Amino acid sequence: MTRWGKRIAIASIAVVALAAAAFFLFQRQIGEYLFERAVTERLGQPETTEQDDAIHVYMCGTGAPLADPERAGPCIGVVAGEHAFLFDVGSGSMRTAGRMGFPVADTEALFLTHLHSDHFDGLGELMVQAWVGGARSEPLPVVGPPGTIEVTDGFNAAYRIDAGYRTAHHGERVANPTGYGLAAREITLPEDTERGIVYDRDGVRITAFRVSHDPVDNPFGYRIDYAGRSIAISGDTTYDPNLVVAARGVDILFHEALDPEMVGSMQRAAERQGMEVGAKVLADIPAYHTPPDDAARAASEAGAGALVFYHMIPPLPSRLLHAYFLDGVREQYAGPVRLADDGLVIILPADSEEVRYRSGL
């Protein structure tokens, strides 16, 4: 090494040493600055950064009951114009929704597809966040199939003590007792009716339609129409011709999916390990979910502009598994296909054909 090279090396080491010493001596101050900057940036942002007139879809939870560290339980947030709604509220989804900027406090109503616990076990968090965060004066409406009243009554009772503490601590202006809790409304379609409008205001129309999830009673999917744009949410179902009719011509069909071959491999592994209960559950669940290729067939028959999978079974910890999960999909549907991740935001601007995707996390 030349003399100048040695001097440069010594100077570089000195600079690194000084930087390390400065960090060690001032790490608290550095941490304080970074924290305050992050808080200022986070609190300074509007809850939804897209201000154009559109349908905004927030994938708050794209997982299923099987443990998945990357995905919360099923939950889709929809902002249509000035109205905000949630469709199902699986475990962990409200924390994801908050990080995404979905206006949880302004949620106008929660719509439940059915009463399997993984579709409502985040309801306690939603209830408190929407109540205190929104300083509500009326309970949060929850719309769902018969049995929804029993579910909401249970949550109201379970959180009543907590609600009293919050009012005592924050005062009635923030935690107004009249705004505490959930107000259920049950959807009761006539026996011979496959779908019905459950919300119609300011150009936003929400239609509930029957799907097939036996032995679950009265499972629903939902279609949302606003400003010339539309989406449909399958809920849990097998392939169902009624979903095809209800989703006719939507811009995006959000469909659940279970890969029977992958779940079958899990079942056989459970049997080899002597896990009889787990093997039985894995043997049962394919009967009331939709294989990916059947979901693609439904999207094709409905003429949907795009197909987005959510509530995926089994968990897909690596993108290398996506092609395996989607095997056969392209043979059934030629349009755009996407496996949704938690945090995905999809924007459908009013009266156009544009579709925009961005990460909300």
List of residues 6+ apart from 228 with CB closer than 8 A: 350, 351, 352
Region label for 274, one of left (φ > 0), alpha (ψ between -120 and 50) or beta (otherwise): left
Report d(CA 212, CA 289) in Å as an integer.
9
Cα 272 to the chain's mean position, in Å? 34
> Is the separation of the CB atoms in 264 and 297 below 8 Å?
no
Q: Does residue 118 carry a catalytic annotation?
A: yes
Report d(CA 165, CA 171) in Å as an integer.
10
SS (H, E, C) 241-283: HHHHHHCCCCCEEEEEEECHHHHHHHHHHHHHCCCHHHHHHHH
Task: Considering the candidates 88, 118, 293, 294, report the single residue annotated as catalytic.
Answer: 118
Strand 344-349 with 83-87, pairing? unpaired
Question: Whose structure tokens read 């071959």?
Answer: 261
Strand, helix or coil at 286?
helix
List of residues 6+ apart from 195 with CB closer than 8 A: 189, 207, 208, 209, 210, 223, 242, 245, 246
Report d(CA 257, CA 282) in Å as an integer.
14
Which two tokens mark 250? 């939507």
The residues assigned a catalytic role are: 118
